[in-house]
Amino acid sequence: MDHGYTSPSIQGASSILNSVADSEHNDSRTYNVFSIVQFRWLFFGNVAFFFAMQGQMLTRSLLAWELTGQATSLAYINLVVAIPLIFASLLGGAITDRVERRRLVVIGQSLIVANELFILILLLFDRLEFWHMLCTAFVAGCAFPFIMPARMAITMKVVGPQSLQSAMAYQSGAMNLNRVLGPAVMGVIIAQFSFVAAYILASILYGCAIMCMFGIDKSHSSESLNNKKPLLADITHGFGYIIRNRPVLVCLGFGLLPMFLAMPFQNILVMLAEQAWQRGESGVGILMATGGIGGVLGAMWIVRRGDNANRLNLMLGSTIAFGAFLALFTQISNFYLALLPLLIANVCASACQTVNNAAIQLLVDDNVRGRVSSFMMLSFGLTPIGVFPMAIAADNVGAANAILGASVILVVLVGLFYGLSATLRNLDRSVKEAMS
């Protein structure tokens, strides 16, 4: 049980607000972040990047299957991406707070482009082997922890605290939409043309994402120019900052619950579709598309709500609703009727994640924003670990019961979290003080 520690205010918030004042156009519900030219560049760069990334997840899976004919090859690729994602996250966050952030994004995304071109050349010369794909997947896993914390920190610099939640909601909506469109488009391109065409398109999109970054001003943290401390000291300081800043620690822990317990359900949808509804690949595709659409709707819901002070109720309500509707989804025998609670569950998951991430960004000082963002990235790296207990449970009691059990545990733990944590109950006050 904690005792309601109150965070320090974000230093430099007023300067951030001043930097975007000439672009502000508020209405009663939400801030028009697209009036900020730099946000438009950042947003469309994100769209290009995540479209290519989501599409290439399918491309890599299909190509690995074609090369090996073994399902385990898919697990190996996910593993070599997840391992560096976990271990490089802390390093990526510390470096984000030490260097110019735009340059870091450009370098990281350039590595991704080099990856795609490497595979493309091997495909053109018919020299591609599975170990080549493992190597490039590892490089991508190393680059991603540097790209994402820097992008999060740049977003705060560009839009300011008053419109951060709306900005993150728009970006979350675009990411979820790309979960649907990316694989769909790449699947058509592979079917109608070739893997070569898919890698050409991905390389072009990644290149566009890099070019968009040059429409954004250089971005330094408040201490980056004068930072002479060893890198390990910066990482240690980030740990200490989170431990001392109880609201940030609580938000990170709260956000980890659905990511670790329930979100791994997406990885056993193939098993669920077959066991519950005797649906093959087409059924899985419909389920994944429904989840992606729900994610978009959830993000747009947050945009419509605007940036208000009722973050706690929204986080609690959406997380509990996510668990409840996910449980309901597994108990409906009619496939098409089951899509509705799945849709609502993903709406709630997207809303909770967006509000939680925005609250964390508002609570932290700019000079540690990258390191704190890296802990948020760490939760995504830990999500594949949550697949293992759910997969084991699915093998023993069935996919539906495994997801049902995880959903119930999630709801119970959220209730316990709220009851035991005074810091969580005082979250709205802490955010208000940080923004003052």
Residues 258-313: pLDDT tens digits? 888 888 787 677 678 878 888 765 676 678 778 878 887 887 787 777 666 678 88
Q: Widest CA span of the chain, in angstroms?
A: 63
pLDDT of residue 358: 79
Q: Where are the beta strands (DSSP E) in 269-358?
A: none
pTM for the complete prediction? Answer: 0.67
Sign of CA dihedral 44, 46, 51, 52: positive
For all residues of the chain together, what is the average pLDDT? 77
CB burial class (10 A; 0-12, 13-18, 19+) of residue 4?
middle
User: What confidence tier does 154 reach under pLDDT thresholds 50, 70, 90?
Assistant: confident
CATH architecture of 30-435: Up-down Bundle (1.20)
CB neighbour list of residue 195: distance below 8 Å, 6 or more residues apart: 59, 62, 63, 123
Q: What mean pLDDT do residues 40-68 have?
A: 82
DSSP string, 386-423: HHHHHHHHHHHH-HHHHHHHHHHHHHHHHHHHHHHBHH
Instruction: List pLDDT tens digits, range 173-196.
Output: 777 677 777 777 887 788 788 889
Structure tokens that stand for 212 in this block: 């968009």
Q: What mean pLDDT do residues 106-114 have?
A: 89
Structure tokens that stand for 135 in this block: 């190597």
